[in-house]
Amino acid sequence: MSTTLSARGATDMSGTSAPSTTQAPAHQTVRVPMVDANLPRLKAKDVSVFYGDKQALYDVSIDVPEKAVTSFIGPSGCGKSTFLRCINRMNDTIESCRVLGDITLDDQNLYDSSLDVVELRARIGMVFQKPNPFPKSIFENVAYGPKIHGLARSKTDLEEIVESSLKKAGLFNEVKDRLHSPGTGLSGGQQQRLCIARAIAVGPEVILMDEPCSALDPIATAIIEELIDELRENYTIVIVTHSMQQAARVSQKTAFFHLGKLIEEGPTEGIFTNPRDKKTQDYITGRIG
């Protein structure tokens, strides 16, 4: 596959002018500006990630629009999840991982040594690929974050936070009668919404979602997608997905990653209807990936 790819690249270089704006070096990202989006507060500049000696991400720069859904797409192993995990520094847990470059939230560098990673993760929540509720009750799952961050002053406070989080995650009506039964007893889709409620309960500004629907059936997926659409009113959401349809359905901005490089980013509609880069076009039409 890679050989055909480079052959194509070569013809591009020598052939007549391609539809893209400039003949850029291979890792120059194609950028299409967002129209009428909120000002970005979360920005990444020249982010590179190494696992030991292996480089997984090359100079990724992107602005994440406020109170909108941004989706990262690309074939497996393209670095989109790696980049997502850089945003709340979950890569810190991997011993051999090294992150270069700047990611800023409100102009504060997330990798600054003065920054407390615990606070950061309270501001930037995360939902994982496989639903991972704790082996505790539904109530305890949601109350976990508020408890460790001391967000509730009393028991009623805590109950209110749990209830409103479950409501925002669209789960409250389904579980209100069994808040104290184990969270692991829920169905896959419910578990994932429980994890979203858990993330919301801490009051984050940004929610990162790493392929949140890949372990779910189509109906549960549809419910979660609807939920994501509702959540963007209050939260900035970044979602990694394998499904281009999902990216097209839920996101306003899309970024296409390939082999550790950010190839193209811009308004979702534009990427899917009028991709500027050849590789993006190939991926969207199913020729690579």
Partner 1 sequence: MLGFLFTAIIVLSLAAFYVGRSAGNRFVAENGPATHSLAGYHGAFVAIWVGVPALVLVLLWLLLQGSVIDNLLLASLPPALTDGVAPGRMSLLLSEIKNTAVGVTFGEPSPELSAAADTWARWNVIAGWAMFVVALAVMLLAGFFAYTRLNYRFRARTNVERFLSGFMIFCSLIAIVTTLGIIVSLVAESLQFFSMVPPAEFFFGLNWEPQISIREDQIAGSGAFGAVPVFLGTLVIASIAMIVATPVGIFTAIYLVEYSGRRVRNVIKPILEILAGVPTVVYGFFAVLTVAPAIREAGSLLGFATSPNSALAAGGVMGIMIIPFISSLADDALRAVPQSMRDGSLAMGATRAETVKNVLLPAALPGIAGGLLLAASRAIGETMIVVMAAGLIASMNINPLDSVTTVTVQIVTLLIGDTAFDNPKTLAAFALGLVLFVVTLCLNVVALTIVRKYREQYE
Written as one string, the DSSP assignment of 72-136 is EE-STTSSHHHHHHHHTTGGGGSTTEEEEEEEEETTEETT-TTS-HHHHHHHEEEE-SS----SS
Residues in contact with partner 1, counted by CB under 8 A, come to a total of: 26
Q: Does 121 bind partner 1 (CB under 8 A)?
A: yes
Q: For partner 1, give the closer residue by CB, 21 or 181.
A: 181
Distance from CA of residue 251 to its chain's centroid?
11
- The 183-222 site mask, x for binding partner 1 (CB under 8 A), equals ------------x--xx--x--------------------
Q: For partner 1, give the closer residue by CB, 1 or 118.
A: 118
Q: Which two tokens stand for residue 80?
A: 């989109």
Cβ 256 vs Cβ 271: under 8 Å = yes
Residue of the chain from 43, 136, 167, 287 that contacts partner 1 (CB under 8 A): 136
Residue of the chain from 42, 49, 73, 90 that contacts partner 1 (CB under 8 A): 90
Residue of the chain from 25, 135, 150, 286 that contacts partner 1 (CB under 8 A): 135
Residue type, 246: Q
Q: For partner 1, give the closer residue by CB, 7 or 94.
A: 94
Q: Going by C-beta distance under 8 Å and a sequence separation of 6 or more, which residues neighbour residue 84? A: 72, 208, 210, 238, 240
Q: Does 1 bind partner 1 (CB under 8 A)?
A: no
Q: Does 242 bind partner 1 (CB under 8 A)?
A: no
DSSP 8-state symbol, 184: G
